[in-house]
Structure 1
């Protein structure tokens, strides 16, 4: 505790400081504290550092790597080290051989791919037509252990720099979805290394990877029983949207979380592949250090649709066929570019990727639906080569049988949470984006939350596509749902979407926002979430009498306050 005289000085300073001054003060104090020896962590040396300049490059799909890069640059500067920060798309690639202290924060997404903005940077490093003999480096790799190629891009960059002559000064740190502690620990080790102080780093393996500390993974796995699977769309709809309920003993989750499901491949397609390649479906092969029959691999383990261009090229190289660049299903490849002998296909098969889990925002409430989890799944239908085809997981889930078992895991989402019970919320969730807000409303109904709730929902047709219509109307009648505005785009000549409804109610919506309401978006990233954000900026600009720059700054402030959150895909 501070003596009374010192405490009064601090209180006087805080009471008269602006928000910007408080933020500066917070950072300054963190810097002061970080220069003191920590008894429970890595100490960062005080005094003049041995290195005075570093470069940090980030590659991000969701903004996490960028946020960490900015945070770490500020931390470095507080320790007397000038840090230059670049997005991977802004970095001058010809500067790589000149770099002395170089740190990469890189995300992996999809099938082990680099973020869109980082592809040119990643491809240049992978080509490797240069030397980085002067470089001392380390890599922070962000990913999701749900996916087979976890942190693939960061790992490849780390290994490539070593091959090109770079010296790794801190082992690569691979981070799962709950990355903050690991990321901060990594940068503390970097600072210690830059200050020539020994860091209590984990033992590194032969390939330079840090041995991960034993810790609880942020995802809990369950086996549940399917109790309901119904199509929410009525007759005449162009869509199939399934409401699925799963009972699972001891399930724990929070509103805003998702569940991950690994689908199985269609049995007929598996049978056709076995027939076309003449392999023995009962023969056992090793895949990821486990043994499975070829049928089991094709049915439950290996992704056989929409193969990446890299895997298609591997298939072409193995079979000797000239296959045009593109993404193909495995069945299309074995039909049009057949293998010569079954053993050739077996070698190709074990080199393919595992099936990735698909994430679905939870549509239920732990308070209102105890022991259950609900999801909404829109069946993905598309045409290829004149044939109607379906998305792997949405087709699989649409066929789940009631009373059948289903494995899944809970994926936490700490960036999409309800505020305090007395706070107002505005929710924009067209289509399956309604999932999170059915969860929010059910939770607020069950807990008796006093905050107001305003929903914007959109779909194609009122008569056939108003998902959860009866529930929404009941919540509206009982006062749980304070306001609801709907947009059915195909029910009139001119298409109307949720952003149009927002603009129609712009003045009232702005009053809610300046009154402290939190704003949520859930659903398709493009173009919906972009259009909704642009509409929100227009409303803040118009009714707040601000310039567009001031409106953007206000929206950034809402993000910092945790009042503007998105769950988009």
Structure 2
């Protein structure tokens, strides 16, 4: 966050300072001449002063104890703690780092929370995962206390191939060098061999959308066990589920569903290719009814806010018990379910908002929270809580720019939206590389993609199916084999978009690109915005 204070804040600080100075001058008069009281204090006054001193010391100790930097011992003892480092000028980045660490601890991970000036080369070398919450101050400068890290650690010839990291960059878009220190950290870590868990998340003046996105990514890192509600709840709108079908019947993998939704108003809002749908999941009706019966509550109980108790429970984590609460007290104590994010697979001109998601299963075989709600529990015509979020980092380039699209699995959703938008705009210089398990079952939108290629909407289409006999095993293998084509397209000014699996595909594709064009050219692509990723 930018530390420059407003004139009103500066005037307030000046007024407080002048007031303190006036009090000091008035007290000083008591020590001058013979005005000072000559008698010794009474014994009771000594005891009162001593008691006040003890209370002050205890308060200082309690404050230190609550805010001290400490390692957390929860989780697997063999798992190195996740380093959460913050650089802050105003304290906001520190607060976000503390929330980040608490989120991970709730998921059972050990954490190590540190100010960035307490991070040295040895700590980085011993860490396996690190999250940095980095503020930028002034015209692109790091916070004051980060200077020690820049002078002592950054010049060190470190090699960090074992380190996976992510950066939450805080800044202010009204300044020229937006989120500069966060990007400086990201570039330095990449240069020294560290592997990004996901791309840098930029936050403009505490933007709630960006912070919810960071929390969503933390949920993927920490697992669903974290039971953490959104830091700021999305303002959902009601949409209706109009159609749902399985895209991969007979697949050896998890079922992939294609959903079509429309707003209850009937009028589709505008969005761009690359944008995100935030979904508010709910508990299944059976799970809610079982809880109500076990705790002897009536599902039809109307709360003070007009909702039924069953509806409040459906949108929340189900508590272990009711603890003899009445319905309204119980409802006030509920923790809302966090949102889930999905790439939008369609454009408004197609008449519906379309999603592609894989049905996830928990270790006990029950459906996952959001995928279970969307794929198993809802019925056609049911209401879905949904909010659109702009994802400027994954928006399309100009129509006259060649476009390379790379993805696997359900990552086809975001790539399909880009292709649909490009074809509608008459931009046909498109190259799609897509990978999945089996061509017979997992070629999502296969007939449509092949038709677009025949009609000239896709100039080049390369598919890889890992469980079939073929020339290539994974999509990154096909990209490496066609590195000469990759270089030619990039020389022609192409933008490269990657959508799909964070584990395996995305870092492997990143390595192929570096091998094909070199680290400096790879970095130049990122800086120019010609290499963008939406990975999960």
Alignment of 1:353 onto 2:341: no
User: Judging changes above 3 Å, is the alpha-carbon distance between structure 1 residues 383 and 183 closer, same or farther for their aligned structure 2 residues?
Assistant: farther
Shift of 1:556: 1.6
Q: Which has the larger radius of gyration?
A: 2
Shift of 1:121: 1.8
Mapping of 1:324-473 within 5 angstroms? 334=320, 339=321, 342-343=324-325, 350-366=332-348, 368-369=349-350, 371-384=351-364, 388-399=365-376, 400-450=378-428, 452-473=429-450
Shift of 1:515: 2.1
Question: Do the aligned partners of 2:272 and 2:347 also contact (CA within 8 Å) in 1?
Answer: yes
Q: Name the CA distance, whole Å, in 2 between partners of 1:392 and 1:422.
A: 41
Question: Do the aligned partners of 1:360 and 1:377 also contact (CA within 8 Å) in 2?
Answer: yes
Cα deviation 1:296-324 (Å, max 9, x = unaligned): 2211x2124xxxxxxxxxxxxxxxxxxxx
SS at the partner of 1:526? coil
Residue of structure 2 equivalent to 1:229: 244
Q: Name the CA distance, whole Å, in 1 between partners of 2:501 and 2:331.
A: 33
Q: Given the two structures, how large is their TM-score scaled by the length of structure 1?
A: 0.54
Q: Name the CA distance, whole Å, in 1 between partners of 2:471 and 2:326.
A: 56
Shift of 1:404: 3.5
Q: Name the CA distance, whole Å, in 2 between partners of 1:273 and 1:302.
A: 12
Alignment of 1:105 onto 2:93: yes
Residue of structure 1 equivalent to 2:294: 276
Q: Name the CA distance, whole Å, in 1 between partners of 2:355 and 2:475.
A: 22
SS at the partner of 1:377? strand
Shift of 1:217: 8.2
Q: Name the CA distance, whole Å, in 1 between partners of 2:396 and 2:322.
A: 57
User: Judging changes above 3 Å, is the alpha-carbon distance between structure 1 residues 183 and 395 closer, same or farther for their aligned structure 2 residues?
Assistant: farther
Instruction: Choose which of 301, 307, 317 in structure 2 pairs with 1:303.
Output: 317
Shift of 1:444: 1.0
Mapping of 1:2-401 within 5 angstroms? 89=84, 103=91, 105=93, 107=96, 113=103, 119-121=111-113, 180-181=172-173, 222-248=237-263, 249-283=267-301, 290=305, 292-299=307-314, 301-304=315-318, 334=320, 339=321, 342-343=324-325, 350-366=332-348, 368-369=349-350, 371-384=351-364, 388-399=365-376, 400-401=378-379
User: Judging changes above 3 Å, is the alpha-carbon distance between structure 1 residues 465 and 250 closer, same or farther for their aligned structure 2 residues?
Assistant: closer
Shift of 1:446: 0.9
SS at the partner of 1:484? strand
Question: Do the aligned partners of 1:89 and 1:118 also contact (CA within 8 Å) in 2?
Answer: no
Shift of 1:280: 4.0
Q: Name the CA distance, whole Å, in 1 between partners of 2:430 and 2:461.
A: 9
Residue of structure 2 equivalent to 1:23: none
User: Judging changes above 3 Å, is the alpha-carbon distance between structure 1 residues 376 and 343 closer, same or farther for their aligned structure 2 residues?
Assistant: same
Q: Name the CA distance, whole Å, in 2 between partners of 1:493 and 1:486.
A: 10
Q: Name the CA distance, whole Å, in 2 between partners of 1:283 and 1:220.
A: 25
User: Judging changes above 3 Å, is the alpha-carbon distance between structure 1 residues 455 and 493 closer, same or farther for their aligned structure 2 residues?
Assistant: closer
SS at the partner of 1:235? coil
Cα deviation 1:448-499 (Å, max 9, x = unaligned): 125x111111111110111000111011111111111111111249981111
Q: Unaligned regions of 5+ residues in structure 1, if any?
A: 1-34, 44-86, 125-138, 143-175, 188-212, 305-329, 541-550
Cα deviation 1:478-534 (Å, max 9, x = unaligned): 111111111111124998111111111111112211221111111121232112111
Shift of 1:185: 13
Q: Name the CA distance, whole Å, in 2 between partners of 1:462 and 1:217.
A: 37
